[in-house]
Amino acid sequence: MNRYFMTVLFGLLMYPVTALYAEEQATKRIEQFTNNKVKVWQTIIYPTSTKVLPMHRHDHERVLVALTDGVLKITNNKGAVHYLNLKKNKAYYLTQDVPGELHNDENMSNHPIKVMVIELN
């Protein structure tokens, strides 16, 4: 009985730690700055197919600055795939998306990819 109690207690104590770790490992967007000319955010994309940045679109031109090296697999809603090979500290100009087109971003690297995105209004 004492061993059972200790096991349950340990599980209850570890739950917040594992929940925090899972949240920390979630692909996310961190807003940085917005005004009437630009919108800036950092995106962190973790590897594995379960952490894909879901379908979305960009209605404005943007500049992406790679904060880490990595390979992004970009798949649009019609199934077309292309890859973006990111080099740390390099900037990339990206046009606005084609009307009606969505895409997702999947990290094909074995480490998190971090980028800063500057969207032009």
* Per-residue model confidence as pLDDT tens digits over 16-55: 544 444 446 788 999 999 999 999 999 999 997 778 888 9
Burial of 47-70, coded b for 16+ CB within 10 Å and e otherwise, reads beeebbbeeeeeeeebebbbbbeb
* 76-119 confidence digits (pLDDT tens): 999 999 999 999 999 999 999 999 999 999 999 999 999 999 99
H helix or E strand, kind and range, residue 6: helix 2-24
Between CA 53 and CA 22 the distance in angstroms is: 16
* Cα gap 19→29, rounded to integer Å: 19
Predicted structure pTM score: 0.77
Instruction: State residue 102 phi and psi, 5-degree precision.
Output: -115, 165
pLDDT at 104: 95
What is the third-level CATH fold of 27-120?
A: Jelly Rolls (2.60.120)
* Domain spans in the chain, listed from the N-terminal domain onward: 27-120
